[in-house]
Amino acid sequence: MRVLVVYESRCGATQGIAERIAEILRDRGLQATVQPAHSADDPARYDAVVIGSAAYYFHWMKRALEYVRRHHDVLANRPVWLFSSGPLGRDAIDAQGRDVRDMTIPKDIAEFQKTINPRDHRVFFGAMDHSKLPFPHRLVLKLPVNRDNAIFPEGDFRDWHDIEKWAGSIADSLNVSADNGLHQAHQPEVLAVAAMPTHDKP
């Protein structure tokens, strides 16, 4: 079964997640191809698709959005999984007792749930390397609100165990689908033979 893993990444963290997902899928016997959204194949050439994007200010990046919207008719007829990379820090629960991942779901996901009906969407913690940020974004780091990197902490916060477990669940689902399809393809045909009337000779 052929799986396309599409990603949009600004500093490489989301790309790393996409590559790890593809690695797990390959380990489980699937043919996984990883491509950036701006040059990704037509999903019609694949049996399933995983799409992920870095999220900024509660939105996916432009090229990932464009990919989903451009191919929504095909994606709506394929098993699709989505992931977002964004939250930073080590705490999965905020000061109000809320799951940080639930609180940072990009607003675009509600649209995708209506247009392509994905099997699942998952938010993963991301990574921040200040040296890789474009100059305008580095200026934001100097704002008083980010004193001591309170808003944009630097480091790699990706939970590889969580990522690999999720990728494994995708592989399980696709392998079950493939097995069911193979089973149906090998079902013996049952022929209904109508009894033809006979005419005895006098």
Number of separate domains in the chain: 1
The larger pLDDT score, comparing residue 168 to residue 156, is at 168
How far apart CA 136 and CA 154 sit, in angstroms, is 17
User: For residue 202, is it within any domain?
Assistant: no
The larger pLDDT score, comparing residue 70 to residue 137, is at 70
Region at 57 (left for phi over 0; alpha for psi -120 to 50; beta for the rest): left
User: For residue 194, is it within any domain?
Assistant: no
Provide mean pLDDT across the span 103-118: 96
CB contact set of 178 (below 8 Å; sequence gap of 6+):
1
Provide mean pLDDT across the span 173-191: 60
User: For residue 200, is it within any domain?
Assistant: no
How far apart CA 32 and CA 48 sit, in angstroms, is 9
Residue 166, judged by CB atoms within 10 A of its CB (0-12, 13-18, 19+), counts as: buried
User: For residue 197, is it within any domain?
Assistant: no
Length of the chain: 202
Given this model, what pLDDT does residue 101 score?
85
User: For residue 142, is it within any domain?
Assistant: yes
Amino acid at 46: Y
How far apart CA 42 and CA 39 sit, in angstroms, is 9
pTM summary value: 0.80
User: For residue 39, is it within any domain?
Assistant: yes
Domain range for 151 is: 2-185
- CATH number for the domain spanning 114: value is 3.40.50.360
